[in-house]
Structure 1
């Protein structure tokens, strides 16, 4: 059996993370009992490696053996939960590492914790439209849409699908920077006139919006991150969490209360 005497908690963390199979194995055992053969098939390591790993887990009182199966103890489940949460957080951080500065800052009440369990869609050189495609997929499945900060960078690529959904019956409130009015007048006045005539669209201008967008769908909340020049959508973060929903509702309400300088429908 292995040696359970470690010098610090860091040693145990290092043990779990030094080989990629150890944390997944402990997490799996915290879900339900498993045999050695199940574990080595699941992790892709050899049977002898799993045998040594289970011995180390037993030495730390993280698992116990019951017949041919192993199961996490309460202490093992406690450790597995912490490791799983840490892995999730690091995965979120890795996705946001290059784009987090494009999201709302803490002064707005938004925190990176709100991105936990979120779907993060980042543009890349091969698929620059990934965040826009995700946004379109979200409004295809909603009956009500509210967005503040829907800038030209997003609108240009999804206007046809968006107006189609509005005409079909999706209740929509959009709060936009003034340049959106110029874009609509010059590029697609007929498209938005039809959407406005449907009675399902409230389209307004706000001349002091922050450099990000906030979208509220039936069951999801989305944050839109634009590049510093505002000409491209770099990231879309969407979640069904309660805290981001409350923050987004508050943000949208605050922006709507201050709008509009002029309802856009009167300006077309």
Structure 2
């Protein structure tokens, strides 16, 4: 349903200045007189009176014995606006991840964003996400299922450590990663072909994201830019998120071919 003009006007009134939300939020904490609200929201009495008049017009507040208090609808408006502000803050924080996830985030559980740990590379620390991913990968506890659009020596080294410790790995890469592995990491590729605890699959289409599922409790989601640099890393867990990540991995594995079928 498309909101009517009056609905937009009411939204615009509330969002037109931080003081308006500040007044409504303050009144939801406790009833107050205009002079008290001046101190609460750092606004002139004239501004406060104008805001209160707008709220009374919309029936968000009422005046009793010189004090203003919110109506039940005014409280609802304040609560929903607080939720919107929280969601906008989350969208800003997770923007570097969401921008580079392609389409796999269409059904990403909200739990992942609500409880996950986000690491973002910056101009001051461009390797923050890479370094954190290496730390996370090295600490896995259980068999690993992974999807990656890149190959890099630090990840190869951690993978070798995990295999030596008895961890089993299923690994989906694309044709570009295979070609680079042949050129730069031929020995590691041969090792992967022969090792009985690692299964490598080659995906026909280019991969645009990184994903690691650690046993049944944790997963890690990596977003890469057009130059295959990790821009952001999300560490998360929980049954719903791990089930989602496992499904993403299995769909890509099922559309891939075993390394032995394309490389010998």
TM range (shorter): 0.5 to 0.7
Q: In structure 2, what is the Cα distance between the partners aligned to 1:261 and 1:226?
A: 24
- In the alignment, which residue of structure 1 is the partner of 2:170? 173
CA contact 1:211–1:226 (8 Å) conserved in 2: yes
Q: CA deviation at 1:211?
A: 2.1
Matches within 5 A, 1:1-268: 8-20=6-18, 22-23=20-21, 26=24, 33=29, 45=42, 55=52, 59=56, 60-62=58-60, 73-95=71-93, 100-105=98-103, 110=106, 117=114, 120-136=118-134, 138-139=136-137, 142-144=140-142, 145-149=144-148, 151-152=150-151, 155-160=152-157, 163-164=160-161, 172-177=169-174, 179=177, 183=181, 186=184, 202-209=198-205, 210-217=207-214, 218-230=216-228, 232-240=229-237, 245-262=242-259
CA deviation vs aligned residue, 1:59-106 (integer Å, no higher than 9, x gap): 355467999x9986542342234323332443344456577553122x
Query: For structure 1, which runs of at least 5 residues remain unmatched after alignment?
Result: 1-6
Q: How much does 1:252 deviate?
A: 0.8
- Deviation, 1:20, is 2.9
Write the distance in 1 (CA, Å) between the matches of 2:132 and 2:184.
26
- 1:235 positional shift: 2.8
Structure 1 residue 255: Cα displacement: 2.4
SS at match of 1:206: strand
Q: Post-superposition shift, 1:261?
A: 2.2
**C-alpha distance in structure 1 between counterparts of 2:46 and 2:239, whole Å:** 42
How far is 1:187 from its partner?
5.0
Cα deviation digits, residues 111-165 of structure 1 (max 9, x gap): 588575365544332221232244345446652343212522xx44455456556
Contact residue 203 and residue 255 of structure 2 kept, 8 A: no
State the TM-score, normalizing by the size of structure 2. 0.61
**Preserved CA contact (<8 Å) 2:147 2:212:** yes
C-alpha contact (below 8 Å) 1:123/1:234 kept by paired residues: yes
RMSD: 5.1
Distance 1:48 1:247 in 2: 53
Segments of 5+ residues of structure 2 without an aligned counterpart are: none
Contact kept in structure 1, 2:121 and 2:230, CA below 8 Å = yes
User: Could you say if the C-alpha distance between residues 91 and 243 of structure 1 is closer, same or farther in structure 2, counting changes exceeding 3 Å?
Assistant: farther
- Contact 2:148–2:209, Cα closer than 8 Å, also in 1: yes
After superposition, the Cα gap between the structure-2 partners of 1:75 and 1:169, relative to the gap in structure 1 and judged at 3 Å, is farther
**1:45/1:62 CA distance change after superposition, 3 Å:** same
Task: Name which one, 1 or 2, has greater alpha-carbon Rg.
Answer: 2
User: In 2, distance between residues paired with 1:50 and 1:162?
Assistant: 63
